[in-house]
Structure 1
Amino acid sequence: MNFKELKLNKHLLRAVAEKNYDDPTAIQEMAIPVVLQKNDLIASAETGTGKTAAFALPILQLLFDKQETSEKGRKIKALIISPTRELASQIYESFMDYGKYTHLTSAVIYGGTKIEPQIAILKKGVDILVATPGRLLDLHKQDLVNLDYVETLVLDEADLMLDMGFIDDVKKIERLCPNEKQTLLFSATMPFKVVQLADTILKDPKKLAVTPTSSAAATVHQLLYYTPKPNKIELCLYLLRNTIKGNILIFRRTKYGVDKLEKTLRNNNFKVDSLHGDKSQEERQAALGKFKQGVTNILVATDVAARGLDIDELDAVINFDLPNIPETYVHRIGRTGRAGNTGTSYAFCSADEKGYLSTIQKLMQKHIQVVDDHPYPLDPKAKPQVHKKQGSKHKKGRKSAASKKKKKRWY
């Protein structure tokens, strides 16, 4: 199938052609007709499968025929909610790219930056608004956002949105929009709480799924290194010096871990930067910009910061810490090998992560290739480290004899 067969108008087809998209991806082929028919939709698709175009193109098509010519009369007709600032920015850029030959206007609002320029844009009037939940509700409280005319509401990366604690905000935003609207929910994974949310806010939705496991496994060469936890940093340095070249994204579980690894790599003269939730929006954008421009070639990140980042030509992903949710592993390795390119992923597994590894392999229905030939192997008999809290040697509620002697009685 090509884009013409999806019944998109010539203005959108021209913009798509300029992006060098030849054929629609699986999610675009399935979702675009559903959205154009104004059905509600729940779609399971990971980032990197082209899902932004799967909702952006049909939304632009639906609004195209009714677009206002004057700026003043513009009302928010499409609202896209995104969990992170980076994702919101990328979605906004996609709407700008696809809608460049229409007269439709788009805007993006998110926290962590000055509110005044965002207020000025909203006062001019926009057709399509991309927003993070917190900033949107702030501006609504100040009567600066009117959601009474929303025709299509999109909840993108719903699983991440709920993981970040936005469920009440999302429900509130949905209630602020009209009852008679089309709602599209996209989620990389479908945990119970996402299904529950969909049941409460979607009306008779069409269900679509693009399985992430097969697509990620097909284009990414996966390698597994068993190594003791204290040797992970040495193994990482060894591989970066001898094996892994190009643009590299390294995942760690915690912000502290990200900072620690970044410092070590910098001390070893690697060009490195980092991304995590404690960094300001300016710092995150700067780190991403330097990486995309080639000033740095290594980015160390937590999952929340790296979700949905659109980085072209990523050569390798290193799972420094294995994730406890198997789908997260699939997302991580899916950052490389995108859009038909090939990539390599490296996973470090210590004794206490073997349980995580087995659930990952079960999800993907394949065993990851093990590399034994490296200087920091894990002893096959190694047991997970158990950190026991040192308890008091005294029984609870019992004073020592010395303490009793010293005690001056008041009676």
Structure 2
Amino acid sequence: MEILSSYNVIIAASVIIVLSFWFNGISKKTNIPSVLMLIVLGVILQYVLKYFVPTMPDLDGTLEVLGIVGLIMIVLEAALELELKREKLVPILKSMAIALLGLVASAWIAALILYQFIPNMTMQSAWLYATPLSILSSAIIIPSVSGLKESKKEFHIYESTFSDIMGIMMFYFLTSRLHPTEGSGVAGFAGTTLLTIAIALIASYAIILVFQKIKSQAKQFLLIAVLLLLYAIGKKMHLSSLIIILIFGLVIANVKLFFPGKMKVFLEHDKISQIYHELHIITLETAFVVRTFFFVIFGITIAITSLFSLSVALVSILIILSIYAIRFVLLRTFFGKDILPQLFIAPRGLITVLLFYAIPQEAEIETFESGILLFVIIATSLIMTWAMIKDKKKMGSMLDELEEEYEAREEAYEGEPTLEEE
């Protein structure tokens, strides 16, 4: 086990972070998601470790913890960038509707496919397996859409964030139905959600009012620790904890909206602005590091041979086709003909993996092959990559045409006689 010594682990972790930063640079130039490169790196490390280490360490627990922290950081990062303005109400509601309808419709069709093709699959378990496969990955989408025009970029940020939150709420609602109790139905779920929103608002106001009074400079990780604590306690109480993170992010990013009128006297605007900017930077950096190690460890743990199964390919392709068919109908309904490249930006990623590992033992189906998960993640990411590259080339050719037209006009203008020459 000498290869897993403390210094070797530190060296490996440092090299992985450096490579991840490099992958981000490649991603911006090529539109290939850095997540794919991280998974490939993980697969390579898997075979390196197998060569040097006779028994692979169990990394499932580490993967789960990284996934939870990464999920919190990604949602917080997205919430901190969302401006709640009256003119943005329609885009937000439209994105929410598309995310919800896409989630439910995709999960329903995927559940039918799994129920039909996976032996011993019950419909209840099929819904639990289908839900993670139906959630958009904000971890992949948000860093990948920075080059799109503002309206499309905002749509993808809103849609992927709502898909994350509603997908997780739907998953845990389905898990609660495995052991039906009083208050676990739709009414009970709605009540729990409203209670979570109320707790989130109270906690957000309290955190802002307290933290603006703290004079210490080193308080950002204290703030993150408080949010992680609230999330974990919320999960223990069976609340929709991700709503707490989302609402806190929205409140601190839109303090003027949440502290209207005379409530402004409770705010120290300079300190709130400082907290917001520092939190935004730390959240961004933390999300980057956690996302890096999550996908590398995922690559280390996956069974790559499962991709070459005919049954895995058949089920995965049917699910992928259903994802884009449903997405096409929804985008055409809400946006008309301007649906590119949005149609193909529907990757699955971190939350898909995280929820897959969270499926209760009593709902697990031994005949379900995890290769389906990997196939869908890789295929949807590659399709998004192709769409983004194509869109980038299209934008480049349009700019070239505009530049040529401008140069032609310049030449024509230079060839015209001046007033003095006339």
Structure number with greater CO (CA < 8 Å, separation at least 6) is: 2
- Answer yes or no: same fold by TM over 0.5: no
Instruction: Flag the structure with larger Rg.
Output: 1
- Pick the TM interval, shorter chain: under 0.3
The structure carrying a bigger helix percent of its residues is: 2
Q: Which has the higher strand share?
A: 1
User: When the two structures are superposed, what TM-score results if normalisation uses the length of structure 2?
Assistant: 0.27
